[in-house]
Amino acid sequence: MPNDLSAALAAAAATLSAASDVTLLAHVNPDADALGSALALGLVLHRRGKAVRVSFGAPESVPETLRGLDVAGLLVPASEVPAAPEVLVALDAGSVGRLGPLADRVGAAGAVVVLDHHVSNPGFGTVNVVDPEAEATALVVLRLLDELGAELDEPVARCVYAGLVTDTRSFRHATPSTHEVAARLLAAGVDAEAVARPLMDSHPFGYLGMLAKVLSRAGLERGAAGGLGFVHAVVTLEDAAGLRPEEVESVVDLVRTTAEAEVAAVLKELRPSCWSVSLRAVSRVDVREVAQVLGGGGHRLAAGFTAEGSAGDVLARLRAALESVAG
């Protein structure tokens, strides 16, 4: 580990050890890495007698598949996050904006600890532990837990595992040392199948009908993305009616299997004329750069942005950004 990262970890541990009240925030529309990371650290701090709350700016409800990670009841609605937290911890948020409606707490907090793995993170905290080499923020959190001398028992290990298994796509993007971390988590009692199946492999029957509609309208542009191929699909509010965000978020995992396309995109309608867009690449296009052109961010092979307009308008802007990066 580089020296500056070790120093940042020590500073983060010192800040948290001295705190009596800690607010942990995941990014908007939190995934298993963001919320698992927050709950793992939150649980350890809660056991040390600190007042702890975990939250996120939007949506209002906690994703159903992540609720079971909160064994100590630490999750609170965004409306219960103090205006000026004593110590704020931001997890898996590559920029202040990713905290959404809670972004203003960063300027108001007594101290801000940033724990993240986005290469573009500007370091918006008073203490920044940002490791772009880490496959998941959960790994950064585990290092911090070790720095704090925390016991890694099953509930904590489960939260870390949830973030790790999803961000590494079931350990396909994991170094040998990350596999060793996984072994440590399993040895702590994590049931891998019981954690991963609800997160990655389980949907209500209505999912199949939604997929049938959405995938039948998918488009393939073989010449796009500099000739590497581009596949896209659109999930409208009508398509998603009655289904959870989990079903909508997983559409991109099917679209990305298209062999003729290096880049996959799924446009998810948030409200009329407003789209959250997921981008994925196989290996050769840096979709973070593409997302950044359009005001978003992410990682080299998984990124995203938010855009206004019709689906056709958003796709046209995306095509142009793809050509500017991959053309």
- Find the shortest distance in angstroms from Cβ 61 to ligand 5GP: 17
Is the Cβ–Cβ distance between 53 and 81 less than 8 Å?
A: yes
Give whichever of 65 and 137 is closer to Mn ion, judged by the CB atom: 137
Eight-state DSSP code of residue 94: S
What is the rounded end-to-end Cα distance, in angstroms, of the chain?
A: 36
Task: Identify which of residues 147 and 167 has a Cβ nearer to ligand 5GP in the complex.
Answer: 167
Specify the residue, 84 or 237, whose C-beta has the smaller distance to ligand 5GP.
237
30 binds, among ligand 5GP, Mn ion, none (CB under 5 to 8 A by kind): none
Q: Closest-CB residue for ligand 5GP? A: 304
The partner in contact with residue 63, picked from ligand 5GP, Mn ion, none with C-beta cut-offs of 5 to 8 angstroms by kind, is none
CB 312 → Mn ion: shortest distance, Å? Answer: 31
Enumerate binding residues for ligand 5GP (CB under 6 A). 94-95, 98, 118, 278, 296-298, 302-306
H/E element, 157: helix 154-167
Smaller CB separation from ligand 5GP, 32 or 81: 32
Q: Which residues contact 324 (CB under 8 A, 6 or more apart)?
A: 293
- Nearest distance from residue 305's CB to ligand 5GP, in Å? 5
Q: Which is nearer to ligand 5GP, 133 or 151 (CB)?
A: 133
For residue 136, the SS3 value is coil
What is the C-alpha to C-alpha distance for residues 101 and 95, in angstroms, rounded to an integer? Answer: 13
CB-based burial of residue 244 (10 Å sphere; 0-12 exposed, 13-18 middle, 19+ buried)? middle
Cα–Cα distance for residue pair 286/290, rounded to 1 Å: 7
From the CB of 308, what's the least distance to ligand 5GP, in Å?
12
Residue with tokens 């103090």: 82
Binding site for Mn ion (CB under 5 A): 33, 92, 137, 167
